[in-house]
Structure 1
Amino acid sequence: MSDELPRTRTLLPPRNDSAGAPERRRNPVLSGIGVVVVIMVVVLTLAYASRRGGGETPPGAENAGTSQDNAPTTAAAPPAAAVAGVPVGYARTRDGAQSAAANYSTAYGSSAMFKPASRRAVIAALAAPTAKDGLQTRADSAFAAQNTLFGLDAEGNPPKGLTFVCRALPVGTKVAAYTPDTATVEVWGAGLIGLAGTGSTKPVTEAWTTTTMRLSWADGDWKLVDFSQKEGPTPVSGLQGASGAEEIAQAVRDFEELRYAR
Structure 2
Amino acid sequence: MSDEEPATRTRLPRPTSAPEGPEPRRNPILSGIGVVVVIAVVIVSLLFAANRSDHGNGNGSTAGDAGKTSAAPQAPGGPPLSAAQVPERTESGVPVGYPQTAEGAQSAASNFVVAYGSARMFRATTRTAIIGTITDPAVRDGLLARTDQVFRAQTTTFGLQADGAPPKGQTFVCRAVPMGTKSVSYSATSATVEVWSVGVVGLAGTGSTKPVAEAWNTTTMRLSWVNGDWKMSEFGQKEGPTPISGLQDPSSATDIAKADGEFGELRHAR
TM-score (norm 1): 0.72
Measured in 2, the distance between the counterparts of 1:120 and 1:187 equals: 23
CA contact (8 A) 2:106 2:181 kept: yes
SS state at 1:184 partner: strand
What is the match of residue 87 of structure 1? 95
Residue 159 (structure 1) aligned to one of 155, 160, 167: 167
SS state at 1:233 partner: coil
What is the match of residue 97 of structure 1? 105
**Greater relative contact order (Cα < 8 A, sep 6+):** 1
Measured in 1, the distance between the counterparts of 2:167 and 2:175 equals: 19
Measured in 2, the distance between the counterparts of 1:227 and 1:72 equals: 28
Larger Cα-atom Rg: 2
Residue 119 (structure 1) aligned to one of 116, 124, 127: 127
What is the match of residue 197 of structure 2? 189
Measured in 2, the distance between the counterparts of 1:226 and 1:158 equals: 30
Please, which moves more after superposition, 72-81 or 248-257?
72-81
User: Any unmatched runs of 5+ in structure 1?
Assistant: 1-46, 53-70
SS state at 1:239 partner: coil
Measured in 2, the distance between the counterparts of 1:86 and 1:155 equals: 21
What is the match of residue 117 of structure 2? 109
Shift of 1:74: 3.5
Matched, 1:261 2:268: yes
| Structure 1 consecutive aligned stretches of length 4 or more whose deviation exceeds 4 Å | none
Amino acid in structure 2 at the alignment position of 1:245: A
Measured in 1, the distance between the counterparts of 2:170 and 2:258 equals: 11
Matched, 1:219 2:227: yes
Shift of 1:72: 5.0
Amino acid in structure 1 at the alignment position of 2:146: R
SS state at 2:126 partner: helix
Shift of 1:75: 4.6
Amino acid in structure 2 at the alignment position of 1:225: S
What is the match of residue 239 of structure 1? 247
User: Any unmatched runs of 5+ in structure 2?
Assistant: 1-75
CA contact (8 A) 1:80 1:90 kept: no
Residue 174 (structure 1) aligned to one of 148, 164, 182: 182
Q: How many residues align?
A: 194
SS state at 1:153 partner: coil
SS state at 2:237 partner: strand
SS state at 1:157 partner: coil
Alpha-carbon spacing, 1:110–1:75, altered in 2? closer, same or farther (3 Å): farther
SS state at 2:219 partner: strand
Measured in 2, the distance between the counterparts of 1:173 and 1:215 equals: 14
Q: For each residue in 1:118-170, what CA deviation from the matched residue of structure 2 results, as whole angstroms up to 9, or x when unmatched?
A: 00000011000111101100110000000001111121100000000100000
CA contact (8 A) 2:204 2:211 kept: yes
Percent identity between the two aligned chains: 57
TM-score (norm 2): 0.69
Q: For each residue in 1:211-239, what CA deviation from the matched residue of structure 2 results, as whole angstroms up to 9, or x when unmatched?
A: 00000000100000010001111112122
Alpha-carbon spacing, 1:72–1:185, altered in 2? closer, same or farther (3 Å): farther
Q: Cα RMSD over matched residues? A: 1.3
Alpha-carbon spacing, 1:117–1:203, altered in 2? closer, same or farther (3 Å): same
Amino acid in structure 2 at the alignment position of 1:180: A
